[in-house]
Structure 1
């Protein structure tokens, strides 16, 4: 890749780092927020799931609304709103106000994601697009490595308000980076609404969206309550949990890199290997949950596998409709965040009705359903390919 192209990709990754830290940084501080406002863990979980639900509902519409705006200006505006919302979150005096401040930037989240991912894929030859998208997704991975555990650590040392202040600083730096070093990205040709929504008629797209929804739901049914699990089942304190989240994220850097490399070779095989290995990781989570040292090992394995899930899901969905990259990325963003909502809600229901220790089985069941959909989609692909060969 050329140096200018790499700079663009890393700047996009920097922006993703900012918004991902905001969205998922709350995962590690849910116990403190629940305690502060005297609410249950599953109610506190709405800080994650409501954010994702707004993205899921409004994602494609917001992306279409911004489709004619210079891409740099749109992304700078998004990061400005994220910075302001984190300041409001830090100042919130009650849970409804905190929830409102959290939801505010969610409307614009898919605008940044769809632009960043489509720009990354379009900046390189088609064969290298998974690697380019993987670099941008690296911002999400680094947010897991640094943003999420650092937010947890700051909350433990100071308070949960300081965690949101940290997120405001992170988004502020991301905003500054894009303002100073990202070149203008004007839209040369604005596709019409009708041209973009044509992709919704493709059955293969809906199959891949269902597969992505099940995979991401499985990921966040357990990961969304990781801090709660480590606190309640493993008996870890706030600082130990922040270290575990850091280890989880560091392992994920390697997993994200390997997923991008494997996707460039074989997308269906990478997908089913991910489903099987993540199922095994959740089984180990249930077995080793009450033991400190074995849980450290599980966290490493789980983190390595987990982090590639978003990248794998994205490549599956966008490959189904390459003719409309930004719109399909916005649909994927909506799908992914709907899946986060579903996963967090199902995980919360499991915790409320059966106990925290059984949340891993929620993920395993969802992954089993994902495996069924993968089998159906792969069979249909082979059948279609065979029919095309016979016609020739």
Structure 2
């Protein structure tokens, strides 16, 4: 595998750490700037909402720019964003600093996955893409505990400096090792937009949105849950998040193996398992040792959601991979936004422990959508029409013979 692919994976690690790293320090930021926890939640949901609304447009508008230049530009903006966040004098400036890089977040994701597949022989393309996806998966599970630990060790600003450093290292790697990638294909919006006519793609995207909303309705406030319900200190919360992330790496790997055998069955087992672990967290959340065990199981299951969403969504549009990838990122981040907003609403009106029920309801809806197969319905309808036509065609000669 080429070195350039691992550098793009490091870039993915950096931008996802920037996005999700705020989860562990959200209570600290809320206290620092004297805002409520649901207002602080906008540091995550606002970032995600910006991606959801602008992702596909950003990808199409930049589709003719040299791909190396585009990736470097994205990482450079993420470096500046993290520095601005660390130096923010008030919550409004911090919010602006967080949102600015979100406009180009899906561009890096879409470009990196497609560029990685073109760096190797066609037969090795899935492996190359999985390496870049690995950067996202590792960031999703390790980015939060790392930034939380650094904030606990020093201060909340240090977590942003760390995220900026990761992006800076990836930026330097891109400049030094990634070859120039001019766009040679005749990329037009019309060609890309054809995939929007696929109904099953929309079903999978909506299912992904709801699934990820369920994941983040509770996970987005996990640090708050562990502090208020499990009565854990900041150091204990950091360790729990690290445990969550460590078991998640193994879970992500096993999810990939399971998806290669049966995508739908894996998705259903994943959703039912999340329902079970959320119920356990609700029941035993006040007990330290049982909650530590539950966290390890939770992390093991949780991380596979990103890979499931990616697999189900992008498999429907291989002819426009960058746009399909950006749609997945947009719907996924819309899910993060929805989950964060619903979680914040439940916390404010019913208390932190009741946030679990929002996740369970969303998982149930996503589970129901796994039984919706538009492609199969269309194929069945077409087969029935063909059968009727064949029947009519066969009966006509018999009618003619009867007249004779």
Tell me the TM-score range normalised by the shorter chain. over 0.9
Separation in structure 1 between the aligned mates of residue 228 and residue 105 of structure 2, nearest angstrom: 32
Partner of 2:242: 246
Residue 52 of structure 2 is aligned to residue 80 of structure 1: no
Q: Residues 1-392 of structure 1: matches in 2 within 5 Å?
A: 3-4=1-2, 7-121=3-117, 131-377=127-373, 380-384=374-378
Whether the aligned pair in 1 keeps the contact of 2:141 and 2:299 (CA below 8 Å) is no
Q: CA deviation at 1:195?
A: 0.9
Query: Which ranges of structure 2 fall in alignment gaps of 5 or more residues?
Result: 388-404
Separation in structure 2 between the aligned mates of residue 120 and residue 288 of structure 1, nearest angstrom: 44
Separation in structure 1 between the aligned mates of residue 282 and residue 181 of structure 2, nearest angstrom: 47
TM-score, L = length of structure 2:
0.91
Query: Which ranges of structure 1 fall in alignment gaps of 5 or more residues?
Result: none
Separation in structure 2 between the aligned mates of residue 123 and residue 332 of structure 1, nearest angstrom: 22
Separation in structure 1 between the aligned mates of residue 305 and residue 193 of structure 2, nearest angstrom: 26
Q: CA deviation at 1:300?
A: 0.9
**Structure whose CA Rg is larger:** 2
Separation in structure 2 between the aligned mates of residue 260 and residue 9 of structure 1, nearest angstrom: 19
For the aligned residues, what is the CA RMSD? 1.9
Change (3 A) 1:295 1:82: same
Separation in structure 2 between the aligned mates of residue 122 and residue 373 of structure 1, nearest angstrom: 33
Change (3 A) 1:342 1:165: same
Partner of 2:398: none
Q: CA deviation at 1:183?
A: 2.5
Deviations 1:158-183 (A, max 9, x none): 21111111111111111112222222
Q: CA deviation at 1:218?
A: 0.7
Change (3 A) 1:122 1:366: farther
Higher mean alpha-carbon deviation, 164-173 vs 345-354, is at 164-173
Change (3 A) 1:280 1:120: farther
For these two proteins, the number of residue pairs brought into alignment is 386
Separation in structure 2 between the aligned mates of residue 155 and residue 189 of structure 1, nearest angstrom: 45
TM-score, L = length of structure 1:
0.94
